[in-house]
Amino acid sequence: MKENSRPDVRPVDESKTGEHDLVFYYSREHRLKKASRLVRSLYENVPVRRFGFFTSLVDTKPKAMLLIVIVAVCLLCLFLPVLRGG
């Protein structure tokens, strides 16, 4: 088989790569062209989300509930001595 007979494989320029460089031998665009319509629609319709510390804490309902419980326990530990009068 010829070295460059597949269009998704590109030849590597050895002069531009170092000893520890990663070399990727496929093209993502070409791989998605060959994929089914369902797979392409999954890649096209992915919403761009910004990463944030708070959003990662409350992005699912169980995570939000856990955060609420942790905050409630911390507040209880802070104010329980005040409420007991000591």
Where are the chain's structural domains?
A: 1-46, 53-84
Measured in residues, the chain has a length of 86
pLDDT at residue 67 in the model: 96
DSSP summary character for residue 18: -
- Of 25, 23, 43, 24, give the one whose Cα is nearest residue 33: 43
User: What is the pLDDT confidence band of residue 1, given thresholds at 50, 70 and 90?
Assistant: very low
Q: What is the mean pLDDT of residues 36-52?
A: 80
Burial class (CB in 10 A: 0-12, 13-18, 19+), 1: exposed
Look at the pTM and tell me if it is higher than 0.85: no
Each residue of 47-76: pLDDT tens digit? Answer: 777 778 888 889 899 999 999 999 999 999
Is residue 27 within 8 Å of residue 8, measured between CB atoms?
yes
Each residue of 9-36: pLDDT tens digit? Answer: 566 666 666 666 666 667 777 788 888 8
